[in-house]
Amino acid sequence: MAETELESNDATRRGAYVFTLALFCITALAATAVWCAVAPLSVSTFAVAALLGFIVSASIHVVPEWERVVVLRFGKFHRVAGPGMYMCIPFADSSAIYVDQRTMTTSFSAEAALTADLVPVDVDAILFWMVWDTKKACLEVKNYPKAVLRTAQTALRDAIGQMNLADISTRRKQIDGELEKMLDSKCETWGITVLSVEIRDIVIPRELQESLSREAQAERERNARVLLAEVEKDISEMFVEAANVYAENPDAMRLRAMNLAYEGVCGSGGVLLAPSDLANAFCVGDARRTSSIAVPDMSNRAQ
């Protein structure tokens, strides 16, 4: 459905064909009317009218805005005509080719192309190009659209053969640029300019996809383990530094113990019951005692 809608928007040469047909009919009818005014109708009348209509329609042509026409005179190049109306000498001039000078799109592919590591891949790409010299496109190559297509396929295979499979997907933009330069240099002698090349899809064999998936998964697992080991190493170094600080300053260790005890009960809203020895450890420099923790007198209660 989408392709049909796209094709319906293509410009056509229908107007030029209608003009030629209308010119033939008008000339034939006019010649028949003039003949009837001079002599009665006969078979020769229609023959002469048809001949005049053919001569006039073969002498006057119309070319759309986006086209150019190569006109040959007795087989030799004469001129490039268009756009608009142009005149030809019947039986002497001939329109050799109608060249569309708009931007053209050509899809091409390289099937089972071997990479540098001998992996067959199917690559699908699209080519944007245009004709800037109508004379060269007509005289330098027999069929310029087919020549552009064959050149693009060959260049794509050559580019794939110089890279490994892993490089093709990561260096797609670079491949596009290299193909554009390569094709532009080859097609320039034909009067054709390559605007851009874009790789649309890269397909690898199904059995190779599974092995590549397992390899990628193993690589990600390895990276995760390496990262975890590095984190554990950093944490252990922090613990060593903390232990050195606690060893040099006993008060820091007491404060840390208080903090751990507080964190243990603050979240649950409970009460910490600690012996008097632990409460004494909560003191800092025997100058201050903590008053936020209730310490019962276990000896008096026992009596």
Q: Give the tens place of pLDDT for each residue, 148-163.
A: 999 988 888 888 888 8
Report the 10 Å Cβ neighbour count for 273.
Answer: 12
pLDDT at residue 216 in the model? 66
Q: pTM for the complete prediction?
A: 0.61
Rounded average pLDDT over 119-133: 88
CB of 258 closer than 8 Å to CB of 251: no
Secondary structure (DSSP) of 94-149: EEEEEEE-SPEEEEEEEEEEE-TTS-EEEEEEEEEEEES-HHHHHHT-S-HHHHHH
CA distance 273 to 294: 7
Domain layout of the chain by residue ranges: 13-99, 104-204, 209-248, 250-303
Judge if the upstream peptide bond of residue 145 is cis by omega within 30 degrees of 0: no
Question: In the predicted model, what is the mean pLDDT of the chain?
Answer: 78
215 pLDDT band, cuts 50/70/90, is: low
Rounded average pLDDT over 66-77: 91
* CATH number for the domain running over 104-204: 3.30.479.30
User: Quick one: DSSP state of residue 171?
Assistant: T
Strand pairing class (60-63; 93-100): unpaired
Rounded average pLDDT over 174-192: 87
CA distance 96 to 257: 98
Task: Answer yes or no: is pLDDT of 129 > 90.
Answer: yes
Task: Answer yes or no: is pLDDT of 294 > 60.
Answer: no
- Give the chain's end-to-end CA distance (angstroms, integer): 97
pLDDT at residue 50 in the model? 87
pLDDT at residue 278 in the model? 53
pLDDT at residue 211 in the model? 64
> Which residues have C-beta within 8 Å of that of residue 136, sequence separation ≥ 6?
189, 190, 191
Rounded average pLDDT over 218-246: 79
212 pLDDT band, cuts 50/70/90, is: low
More confident site: 271 or 90 = 90
